[in-house]
Amino acid sequence: MSLLIVGTVAFDGLETPFGVREKILGGSALYGSLSAALYTDDVQLVSVVGGDFLASDIQLMADKGINVDGLEVIADQKTFFWKGKYHTDMNSRDTIETQLNVLENFVPKVPESAKSCDIVLLCNLVPAIQMMALKAMNKPSLVVLDTMNLWIDNTLEDLLAILREVDVLTINDEEARLLSGEHNLVKAAEGIKAMGPSVLIIKKGEHGALLFGPEGRIFFAPALPLADVVDPTGAGDCFAGGFVGHLAQTNDFSFDNMKRALMEAATMGSIAVEAFGPERIFEVTHEEVRARRALFTDLAQVN
């Protein structure tokens, strides 16, 4: 199946207890598409960068099998920049700087070739822009959306509007509580599913991820206990990319297959955090992904 990924391509400044990167490739769509491209060779990207973005970096993405026809370059503006600093336990971070730049007036341009994609992953982005991208498409079979607390706090009406169009929502535990007004995650999931999504993924970081499906079905994918988490940036996007990548590869939207997709998502999330920014995702091989996935089988399966 064909897969479209809409989101940001960015420069990030990162600081974690393991070190500092002043300027490194980033953005939700970059992470998401790199991750998904490890599962399927029909991945298109819709995003925007500025004149400061290197053609060689676009080529790097194309070399990974990502169709970059939908990556708009606005020559007289700068690429979106985000700078963040992680605390010692890696579970929380501060935003040090945000320069929206090209994102300020971003209107996603979905190429003709991408309009009929079967699956769309709308990565974390202003909900109104996510809606524009979705409306430019020919009713994809599966709409997967990621969001964050910023949009729950500031553009709730727009978020609720797109949630009505969404099949699968991915959100973290604190955001699920914020969006639903329920502390208990089972009740939060019920509340959020009433807003539109038939399937909900609640990400709990180092505590794994819950998949809430139809008829009260629940599945849980653990996080791999890691001795060293170098940089969590992009882990959620790689997680989402692994999820949709597996679905595109297998052409099966059943709950049982979404369980498998969640294990692939957890696999990609665990790989993403092992190096700074997208460094690990750029270099990881299919064999390494399969070996990591096997660790999850050991971790979670009982004979």
Site for a copy of itself in 113-152 (CB under 8 A): none
In the chain, which ranges are continuous DSSP H helix?
A: 28-36, 55-63, 112-115, 127-135, 149-154, 156-163, 173-180, 185-193, 235-250, 255-272, 279-283, 286-300
The Cβ of residue 286 has, within 10 Å, a number of other Cβ atoms equal to 9
Are 182 and 191 spatial neighbours (Cβ–Cβ below 8 Å)? Answer: yes
Site for a copy of itself in 35-64 (CB under 8 A): none
Report the alpha-carbon distance of residue 209 to residue 213 in Å, rounded: 13
Q: Is 156 in the site for a copy of itself (CB under 8 A)?
A: no
Q: Is 18 in the site for a copy of itself (CB under 8 A)?
A: no
CB-nearer residue toward a copy of itself: 89 or 283: 89
Residue 64 backbone dihedrals phi, psi, to 5 degrees: -85, 5
Q: Which amino acid is at 293?
A: R
Site string for a copy of itself, 279-298 (x = CB under 8 A): ------------------xx
Minimum gap (Å) between residue 254 Cβ and a copy of itself: 11
CB-nearer residue toward a copy of itself: 54 or 226: 226
Minimum gap (Å) between residue 186 Cβ and a copy of itself: 4
Site for a copy of itself in 80-119 (CB under 8 A): 88-89
CB-nearer residue toward a copy of itself: 75 or 227: 227
Binding residue count for a copy of itself, defined by CB under 8 A: 31
Minimum gap (Å) between residue 213 Cβ and a copy of itself: 11
Q: Which two tokens stand for residue 246?
A: 């597996």
Minimum gap (Å) between residue 59 Cβ and a copy of itself: 37
User: 143 in helix, strand or coil?
Assistant: strand
Minimum gap (Å) between residue 17 Cβ and a copy of itself: 10
Q: Is 301 in the site for a copy of itself (CB under 8 A)?
A: yes
Q: Is 252 in the site for a copy of itself (CB under 8 A)?
A: no
Are 168 and 192 spatial neighbours (Cβ–Cβ below 8 Å)? Answer: no
Q: Is 266 in the site for a copy of itself (CB under 8 A)?
A: no
Minimum gap (Å) between residue 279 Cβ and a copy of itself: 21
Site for a copy of itself in 171-230 (CB under 8 A): 183-187, 204, 207-208, 210, 217-220, 222, 225-228
User: Closest by alpha carbon to 81, among 22, 16, 121?
Assistant: 22
Q: Is 263 in the site for a copy of itself (CB under 8 A)?
A: yes
Q: Which of 48-84 are b and which e, b meaning 16 or more Cβ less than 10 Å from the residue's Cβ?
A: bbbeebeeeebebbeebebbbbbbbebeebbbbbbbb
Render 172-241 in DSSP notation, one character per residue.
EHHHHHHHHS-SSHHHHHHHHHTTS-SEEEEE-GGG-EEEE-GGG-EEEEPPPP-S-----TTHHHHHHH
Q: Is 259 in the site for a copy of itself (CB under 8 A)?
A: yes
Minimum gap (Å) between residue 270 Cβ and a copy of itself: 12
> Would you tell me which residues interact with a copy of itself (CB under 8 A)?
88-89, 183-187, 204, 207-208, 210, 217-220, 222, 225-228, 256, 259-260, 263, 297-303
